[in-house]
Amino acid sequence: MRKHVTLVHFQCILFCLGGFLLLREGVVGDPRAQTVNITCGRQLEHNSTIFVPNFVATMENISEQMRSSGFGVALTGSGPDQNYGLAQCYGDLSLLDCVLCYAEARTILPQCYPFNSGRIFLDGCFMRSENYSFFEQYKGPEDKAVCGNATQKTSTFQESARQAVSLAVASAPNNKGYARAQVPVSGTNESANVLAQCWRTLNASSCTACLENASSSILGCLPWSEGRALNTGCFMRYSDRDFLNKEQSSGSSRGTVIVIVVSVVSSLVVIAVGSAIGVYVWKHRYIQKKRKGSNDAEKLVKILYDSSLNFKYSTLEKATGSFDDANKLGQGGFGSVYKGVLPDGREIAVKRLFFNNRHRAADFYNEVNMISSVEHKNLVRLLGCSCSGPESLLVYEFLPNKSLDRYIFDQIKGKALTWDRRFEIIVGTAEGLAYLHENSKIRIIHRDIKASNILLDSRLRSKIADFGLARSFQEDKSHISTAIAGTLGYMAPEYLAHGQLTEKADVYSFGVLILEIVTGRQNNKSKSSDYTDSLVILTWKKFQARTIEELFDPNLMLHDHHNSNVKSDILRVLHVGLLCTQESPSLRPTMSKALQMLVTEELLPAPANPPFMDESTLELGDTCEDVSYPLNVGPPSSVATVSYSSFRPR
């Protein structure tokens, strides 16, 4: 057992997190990681099996350079799928802020795929990828200015802005392409602030030409209070707001920078940060949280390296036949999954996580941390991960029958799931969730319970998978306030409306899953020519009208000879599903109570109405913040408390 976490080990974890979690002592500024513009090329990649590894390798090569100098160039491969890359932070960013900004850029730029090129301007850094050498280009047809239009400024501000732009353009070429200027506005307490930055691949004359073009276009934004020039070889910005980070000391690893300050800075904001701070960049424009210690990251390091969870990338690549499409098991929002066979003959499932989306770093950490800390027969077992290659990989036990959705939503495959098997799947899922909520060392909420995340073993027994969105919290907390994430159709109304997460969100999702298993219909695709209500509402209405048998999946009766007993069982399970999907979370049972209702003959209360009874509330806007759902619980159902005496517990 290794007693100490080495720097190499920690860097490995940083890579697995996509470079988003950093450990550093010092002052945290603003990485300015908000996207200004992304432009994708028009030519498709030539061969994805060559282009993708080349692109990933280029990004990682640049990552290493960014961590030491704030600038990186790389070339990977040859021929039509060769990849040239460049990334650079603007001169006022510290190395810490620089890596955070680049981490954002490298997760957004892959959105250009399957086109083979793209460039992204953030307010703190730039990244570009092409299939040809562009390093000495300083102008092009894509050059443009982006103007702010919130406030029109006075003529005195405009004059100060012109002076500041002129000063920056004159100074940057002789200062490694970087300059900043601040010119006070006469008769006011504000100033015009300017940043000018050329890419380091340009010589002084090319930098001058680029900035002169940029200044000409950016001054066209006046009289507006803000303007940015997005040019092939440089970036320039002016603003009436002091957006620049404070000067770095001469002892900084970035070196001394020449700063043009015409006015005396009246105040400095110094943010004291404790040692060993782990910083996540995704939430807001400014880094707002202090974290005392890096316990989470160090725990992950120990998990990986002290318990033999780490796999060599080459081993997994060979096991999957270089991720051959013939071995592909499925594709999800967070990556592709491949079947593999290890040298010792063990079958495994490998989740491949390149082309990360914005939140993949935190999700990767969650998945490793959550699933490695729990063990239950109804949870998919994590065997390890790979942090040593060009991609992040998770390794799971192999489950030959894949996911539940492949059966219940397919009229042919659905015949393999008799009622007894479906009931066993429902109970197994309930047992796994009850363990996560109540019996593990930490309270864990899965957040994405749905049929595609329920995997089936060789005997068609259920195992809960995909812990990328899972969250844990302390016993003394009633709920977590968090960004909304999950799958529409399975998310509880209070979570959608307010972002308040409790175990009852999983209970709601489980209730939807029950209804899908019994009916063979998918809740979030329920608006079709056959029926207009969601599956939850439709089931509740049929239950109220005592015609719920009309919803039974016809496959349920094919292999059962005691149809009267089976019918009673199904009615009871649907009743439990409706109790789990009630609008008010306080009325929903806990998972342990739901499990008890499933396997005993106790009397069941009448379910109250489900959410979204007003169908207009199902029309979602562009952002979750715009979604609002009525949370008033309607009158109790008129259906009396029901008992199912013929129910046969398993």
Average pLDDT of 602-626? 60
Asked if 334 and 357 count as a contact pair (C-beta separation under 8 A), the reply is yes
What is the structure's pLDDT at 283?
31
Q: What pLDDT, on the 0 to 100 scale, is given for residue 623? A: 29
Mean of all residue pLDDT scores within the chain: 76
Please report the pLDDT score of residue 236 as a whole number: 98
The pLDDT of residue 333 is: 55
Say if residue 514's pLDDT is above 90.
Answer: yes
- With 80 as the cut, is the pLDDT of residue 584 above it? yes
Higher pLDDT, 86 or 528: 86
pLDDT above 50 for 469: yes
pLDDT value of position 374: 75
116 to each of 52, 356, 486, 567, how far by Cα in Å?
9, 17, 30, 56
Least confident of 14-23, 183-192, 476-485, 507-516: 14-23
Q: Is 299 assigned to a binding site?
A: no
478: Cβ contacts below 8 Å, ≥ 6 apart: 502
In single-letter form, the type of residue at position 157 comes to F
Q: pLDDT digit string (tens) for 16-61?
A: 443 333 333 334 468 898 899 999 999 988 887 788 888 888 988 8
User: 509: pLDDT confidence band, cut at 50, 70 and 90?
Assistant: very high
pLDDT of residue 489: 82
Asked whether residue 465 carries a pLDDT value surpassing 60, the answer given is yes
pLDDT higher than 50, residue 650: no
Mean pLDDT across the stretch 384-396?
75
Q: Does pLDDT of 319 surpass 50?
A: yes
Q: What is the mean pLDDT of residues 271-289?
A: 27
Which residue did the predictor score with more confidence, 401 or 557? 401
Q: State the number of CA atoms in the 13 A half-sphere of 490 facing the CB.
A: 19
Residues 6+ away with beta carbon under 8 Å from 286 = 30
- Express as a percent the part of the chain with pLDDT over 70: 69
> Are 390 and 316 a contacting pair, CB within 8 Å?
no
Q: Supply the pLDDT for residue 636.
A: 32
> Regarding beta strands 260-261 and 178-184, do their DSSP bridges make them parallel or antiparallel, or are they unpaired?
parallel
Q: Between the CA of residue 338 and those of 85, 311, 381, 398, 645, what are the distances in Å?
A: 29, 15, 16, 10, 46
Among residues 240, 448, 506, 569, the one annotated as catalytic is 448
Compute the average pLDDT of residues 135-145.
94
Assigned token pair, 341:
């066979």
Q: What is the mean pLDDT of residues 252-275?
A: 29
Q: Which of 304-318, 320-334, 340-354 has the highest mean pLDDT?
A: 340-354
Using the structure block, give the residue that is written with the tokens 């957004």.
108
Pair 192, 161: CB distance under 8 Å: yes
Task: Identify the pLDDT of residue 591.
Answer: 96
Contacts of 170 (CB under 8 A, 6+ apart): none
97 is annotated as an active-site residue: no
Distance from C-alpha of 123 to C-alpha of 92, rounded to nearest angstrom: 11
| Residue 523 identity (one-letter amino acid) | N
Q: What is the DSSP letter of 86?
A: E
